[in-house]
Homo-oligomer: A and B are copies of this chain.
Amino acid sequence: MTPSTSTFSARLDEAARLVEASLEALLADNLRHGEIARPARLMEAMRHAALGGGKRLRPFLTIEAARLFGVEGQGPLRAGSAVELLHCYSLVHDDLPSMDDDDLRRGRPTVHRAYDEATAILVGDALQTLAFEVLADPETDPDPAVRSDLVLGLARASGLGGMVGGQLLDLSAEGRYGAVTMSEAAVRQLQMMKTGAILTFAVEAGAILGKADAGARRSLMEYGRALGAAFQVADDILDREATPEALGKRTGKDQEKGKATLVDLLGLDGAKRESRQLVEKADAALEGFGDRAQTLREAVRFVVEREV
């Protein structure tokens, strides 16, 4: 297997371009069904939060997973954009003063710095709502069973038992709700909830759109879980090794806050070894898809080797 890196980055770039255009249209100034106004300040701040940045990895995964089943075009693009909107909402709320208190995101001021705290809270709220609106809209898929499956999957990945629950555990890990010692198992659980669940759903969404059978859907979710874990290990390594300039956000945050990461628990070499094992696990999950899954194989390598 020779990774065709140039084809891969061309696909990733092309997906990012399409996602940007799709988000641009969703956050445009035109009134939608039943709306009597779109308050300008809120819309501008939502655009600040969602446009002009990011690798758009999550929608890319949805698009590539759906392609395995021959499904392309508006459906995967809109479903992937919904996952990205959900991701952007989580960043806006995580950056708030009472949470991680960050001033920079993707090299630009965070929403509460560019606007104000109240606006930032409402931006996150409205981006979350929009994510579900996009998934439930017939334009995403003519089959209502597909749409309600997408909504259910995103909700389960992002609520109390998923991303938001993970964020609460992350705040607890700083010791703000009493002293804690995080075991390796607890760190893994936190990471699976906080970032892994949405990445896994991004892949699963492609399977839902492709009306995959139970076995194929399960394999893709296994792939998604391995990719999600690999993403987080890479994040922990970057937080230790990269510069703020390269990342466009603060680094060394976890150490500063006394939060245990996998790098603390496994050492830098151990974390890198785990990365390699997760790539193998992702490959194994994709076995049944043959050559068609080449881009997804390269995606997990990209996640591990990325420098931003």
Contact = CB atoms under 8 A, between A and B. Distances in A.
Interface of A: 31-39, 41-43, 46, 89, 93, 96, 98-99, 116-119, 121-122, 124-126, 128-130, 132-133, 135-137, 143-145, 147-149, 151-152, 155-162, 164-165, 167-169, 171-172, 176-177, 189, 192-193, 197
B125 A124 contact: yes
A210 B148 CA distance: 18
25 contacts: A32-B161, A34-B157, A34-B197, A35-B156, A36-B192, A37-B161, A37-B189, A38-B161, A39-B168, A41-B177, A42-B160, A42-B165, A119-B168, A122-B168, A125-B164, A128-B128, A129-B155, A130-B155, A133-B152, A133-B159, A135-B151, A136-B148, A136-B151, A136-B155, A147-B151
A292 to B, nearest CB: 26
A99 B118 contact: yes
Contacts of A118: 96, 98-99, 171, 176
Contacts of A133: 151-152, 155-156, 159
Contact of A41 (B128, B135, B137, B172): B172
B189 A130 contact: no
Nearest to A178: B41
Contact of A167 (B31, B35, B122, B161): B122
A50 to B, nearest CB: 12
Contacts of A35: 156, 160-162, 165
A72 B301 CA distance: 52
A306 B121 CA distance: 32
Most chain B Cβ neighbours within 10 Å, of A31, A149, A156, A172? A156
B117 A98 contact: yes
A167 to B, nearest CB: 6
Contacts of A136: 136, 148-149, 151-152, 155
A118 to B, nearest CB: 4
B132 A155 contact: yes
B130 A159 contact: yes
A98 B116 contact: yes
Nearest to A100: B118
Contacts of A177: 41
B32 A156 contact: yes
* Among all A-B residue pairs, the 8 with the closest Cβ atoms: A35-B161, A133-B155, A129-B159, A98-B117, A136-B151, A144-B145, A136-B152, A147-B148
Nearest to A165: B39
Nearest to A169: B39
